[in-house]
Amino acid sequence: MKVLITGSNGQVGSCLVKQLRSCPEIEFLAVDRDQLDITSEQEVIKTVNDFMPTIIINAAAHTAVDKAEDEVELSYAINCDGPKYLAEAAERVGAAILHISTDYVFAGDKEGLYSESDTVYPQGVYGESKLAGEEAVINACSRHIILRTAWVFGEDGNNFVKTMLRLAQQRDSLGIVADQFGGPTYAGDIAAALIKIAKSITGSKNTFNSDNYGIYHFSGMPHVSWCEFAQVIFDKAVEQNVLVKSPDVKGIKTEDYPTPAKRPANSKLNTQKITTVFNIPASDWQSALNHQSDYA
């Protein structure tokens, strides 16, 4: 198997690189924007034609949700045009593409869990551009997996865990949003899920059913609010001596913390489909917080 990874310096991309290094049977080429501008169709075509991958894993994205409200053209270039070019190139060389998407494609106002077949209705530029990217990938490459995830955190890049640990060093009290709910998702678990899917697709026994291409949800359990997530981070950090003490955590409403982009109130994803098809359980985000010195 030959795997092309884009966005290799991001949260998921860096985990993919680390994990694939321990897979000697897989040859991989990891590129970030300095090596490949996915918004350049010609660069994408050249890279794919030169490497001839079996699988393309697109972990590149413009994820600055608030900046996206102003950076509309850039958001669509990275989140829609880039995936389109990668998917078209994959189709030409007979490769499959695994593409990471987001809970932001939904309105976030549903009661209960969002399943893959639920109506999409993004509320901002980030979600709209990611949905456009999903559609572009689906239309361009017959062998596609769209992996929607939420609340991603990891050792690399900027994320909620790192922000909370930094603020806890500076303040005795923190107000954290308590009326938005979702499943925190460890980037390493996303990477492991993508590798398992890639192996399933390219397995030597050819047991993968082409009907199983499509959209999948993958995120963490149990579902919590941002406020609850923060409290678990602090409790575990104190246990591991990463923090001397936990700050006082106070739950606040979304309206008390206004942002340029609207956040989904409900980001809870139903992950049963990926468990049934690929035997991949939900991300165990609490276990991923057992080594918080890696995030500090």
Annotated catalytic residues are 126
* Pair of tokens at residue 125: 């530029």
Q: Which residues of 164-203 are buried (b: 16+ CB within 10 A; e: fewer)?
A: bbeebeeeeebebbbbbbbbbbbbbbbbbbbbebbbbbbe
Q: Please name the residues in contact with 139: beta carbons below 8 A apart, sequence gap of 6 or more.
A: 87
Cα dihedral 279/284/287/289 (nearest 10): 140
CA 46: distance to chain centroid? 26
For residues 73 and 84, give the distance between their C-alpha atoms in angstroms, rounded to a whole number.
15
Residue with tokens 């006082």: 248
Nearest alpha-carbon partner for 190 in 114, 101, 291: 101
Contact call for residues 4 and 29 (beta carbons, < 8 A)? yes
Beta strands in the chain (DSSP E): 2-6, 27-31, 55-58, 96-102, 144-149, 152-153, 173-177, 181-182, 185-186, 214-217, 224-225, 248-252, 266-267
* Phi, psi (degrees; rounded to nearest 5) at 40: -100, 110
CB atoms within 10 A of CB 138: 18
28: β partners: 3
Contact call for residues 54 and 96 (beta carbons, < 8 A)? yes
